[in-house]
């Protein structure tokens, strides 16, 4: 079972891996920089080398890098879009040092421009970054998978349903041409899809089948495991501890045992301290029946 949580990156990669192992985790997520934006801390090559060796020894991975919340490639202001592009390009460059990492980001908000315009802006940004990378690296795309996160649909968020996620993928791939079919994926957030109106409590099989029909299960690379403070379809995005919210423990038992989900890496983003994450990781492991 691949299970972990969000950890602070302040001590570097090796410290995160050691912390993960100490709380019973074998994967972890971290912010690439301050979640509200700003410059990233320089990468220490010695730390990366030590992390890779430790991760190999202890079976840690895949790690999930989370882009800062301030990225909005669909923003109405040019400076906002330029910040998103520069930040993501820099993040992907840094992540090449950690093979097997995945990069997750919130698709952004169209802020009144309309979903179609927002999807065009996001896909154009990704295409510029990735085509520039390919040109500079002998025709090869980055090794890091880029994941669109499913969103709850608050305000003018993109990715509020599976159709918008698929539209983002298709619009990006149409600009990239051949060789990019395995580059883009999805991180499914349990709180977000529940708040977005997908009944993973009463009809998990139906939700998974719909995701497969619209997006394709081959695109699903990771799961954010979060309970929700809100009722189904609230479109609010308020995470809760596992079993303490409206999704409930039995739904998570079905999730961790579902044949389409059970082998995916699971990343907790619940409102917990380190001891709380240790307890939740043990709880989630205890829900597995096979």
In total, how many domains does the chain have?
Answer: 1
- Looking at the DSSP assignment, which residues form a beta bridge with residue 66? 31, 104
- 121 by Cβ neighbours in 10 Å (0-12 / 13-18 / 19+) ranks as buried
CATH number at residue 218: 3.20.20.150
Q: What is the pLDDT of residue 149?
A: 98
236-282 confidence digits (pLDDT tens): 999 999 999 999 999 999 999 999 999 999 999 999 999 999 999 99
pLDDT of residue 182: 86
**Residue 37's pLDDT band (cuts 50, 70, 90):** low
How far, in whole angstroms, is CA 286 from its chain's centroid?
24
Residues 74 and 92: their CA atoms lie apart, in Å, by 19
Render the burial of 264-275: b for 16+ CB within 10 Å, e for the rest.
bbbbbbbebeee
What six digits make up the tokens of 61?
Answer: 């991975």
Overall average pLDDT of the 51-72 stretch? 96
Q: What is the CA radius of gyration of the chain?
A: 18
pTM (2 d.p.)? 0.96
Determine the Cα–Cα distance for residues 164 and 145; give it in Å rounded to an integer.
Answer: 19
Residue 178 has pLDDT above 80, yes or no: no
Q: What CA–CA distance (Å, rounded) separates 58 from 56?
A: 6
Q: What is the pLDDT of residues 157-170, one digit of tens each?
A: 999 999 999 999 99
| pLDDT score for 236 | 93
CA angle 66, 99, 274 (to 5 degrees): 45
Range of the domain at 38: 3-287
pLDDT per residue as tens digits for the range 66-84: 999 899 999 999 999 999 9
Mention every residue, 6+ apart, whose C-beta is less than 8 A from residue 141: 130, 133, 134, 176, 179, 180, 183
């Amino acid at each position: 079972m691949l299970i972990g949580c969000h950890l602070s990156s302040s001590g570097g990669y090796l410290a995160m891996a050691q912390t993960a192992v100490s709380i019973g985790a074998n994967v972890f997520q971290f912010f690439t920089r301050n979640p509200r934006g700003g410059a990233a801390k320089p990468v220490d090559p010695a730390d990366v080398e030590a992390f890779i060796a430790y991760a190999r020894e202890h079976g840690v991975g895949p790690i999930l890098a989370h882009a800062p919340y301030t990225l909005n490639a669909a923003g109405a202001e040019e400076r906002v879009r330029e910040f998103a592009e520069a930040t993501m390009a820099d993040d992907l460059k840094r992540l090449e040092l950690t093979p097997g990492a995945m990069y997750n980001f919130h698709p952004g908000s169209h802020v009144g421009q309309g979903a179609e315009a927002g999807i065009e802006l996001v896909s154009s940004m990704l295409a510029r970054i990735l085509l520039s990378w390919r040109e500079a690296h002998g025709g090869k795309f980055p090794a890091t998978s880029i994941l669109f996160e499913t969103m709850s649909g608050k305000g003018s968020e993109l990715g509020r349903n599976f159709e918008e996620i698929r539209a983002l993928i298709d619009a990006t791939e149409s600009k990239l041409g051949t060789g990019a079919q395995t580059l883009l994926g999805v991180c499914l957030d349990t709180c977000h899809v529940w708040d977005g109106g997908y009944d993973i409590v009463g009809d998990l099989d139906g939700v998974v089948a719909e995701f497969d029909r619209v997006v394709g299960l081959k695109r699903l690379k990771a799961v954010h495991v979060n309970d929700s403070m809100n009722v189904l379809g609230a479109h609010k995005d308020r995470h809760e501890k596992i079993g303490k919210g409206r999704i409930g423990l039995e739904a998570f038992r079905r999730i961790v045992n579902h044949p389409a989900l059970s082998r995916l890496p699971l990343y907790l983003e619940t409102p917990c301290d380190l001891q709380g994450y240790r307890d939740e990781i043990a709880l989630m492991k205890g829900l597995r029946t096979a």
